[in-house]
Amino acid sequence: MRRETGGEHLGGREGHPSHTPASVPSTRSGSPSPRLPGLLAALCDRLPVDRAVVLERVFETVSAPDDPLLSRFIAAQPAAGLAHQLAEIARAWRTEAPGMTGSGLALALATARSFPRPRPAQVVVSGPMSAALPTRLTSGVAVEVIRSADTSLLIASFAAHGARDVVTEIGRAVGRGVQVDLLLEESTQAAAAFTALPDKVHVWHRVGASAVLHAKLIAADRHTALLGSANLTDRALSDNIELGVVLRDPSTVEPLVAHFRWLLAPENRVMRRA
């Protein structure tokens, strides 16, 4: 969506001036590049599709960047950094394209969303959330990653307790035919948190007692993975100070999943079915 800058104006011919509407940022050589396209693209990188669609509908209902409805919507956002991100978009809209309607901004956001591109790693945290980074809470991201699985889920955790939303979402994944493998530390009795799940779920423990399974991973198919310090416990997912990242680049996620699948292969004698 970023407009190229240069000495030639769109619609102009050599020797003839070109007229640029006042509501469109100038792309004349030496002028600052417009920020609005990049801000909208960054917002698409952050938001799941369903939340992006909700935001597009909000934009369609507002008339201008100073519309009180938009201000109230921005102020009501609980996710860390999201209100700041939306406020930056409103400021860029006001300075760069004040004549654009809310419907026009909604169309721009929908256009950015419709062109898939590699998505950067996203920071997730548990515990207190600041506005320093556009982060999301671990509990919500864990459920979202599980929900995105079409064929397989590979989940590893040192400890597990409670985490009802995660357990419920795993059960739903099993119901739609997803193969689920849980790699759990036996010494913490982590498997007890998943006893309500169907027998189709495979539970794995580390072979031998010389070391433990300490990894924390939720991998959906081979396209998305949540890595971090949080175990699948209520405190770790919400209250403890924990840190993680979501990877949505298949070229990174695929070898990661392949490594854990190698750990599960019986001939490698690393993991055993419980």
Query: At 12, is the pLDDT very low, low, confident or very high (cuts 50, 70, 90)?
Result: very low
Of the candidates 121, 99, 103, the one whose C-alpha atom is nearest the C-alpha of residue 45 is 121
Q: Which residues contact 58 (CB under 8 A, 6 or more apart)?
A: 69, 70, 73
User: For position 112, what pLDDT does the model report?
Assistant: 86
Quickly count helices (H) and strands (E) in the chain: 9, 11
* Domains with residue ranges and CATH for the chain: 36-114 (no CATH), 122-273 (3.30.870.10)
36-68 confidence digits (pLDDT tens)? 998 998 888 778 778 889 999 999 999 999 999
pLDDT exceeds 90 at position 165: yes
**Could you report the per-residue pLDDT of 100-142, keeping only the tens digit for each?**
999 999 999 999 888 766 677 889 999 998 877 777 899 999 9
Residue among 220, 208, 137, 225 at smallest CA distance from 176? 220
Q: How far apart are CA 192 and CA 184, in angstroms?
A: 10
pTM over cut 0.75: no
Q: Which helix (H) or strand (E) holds 264?
A: helix 250-264
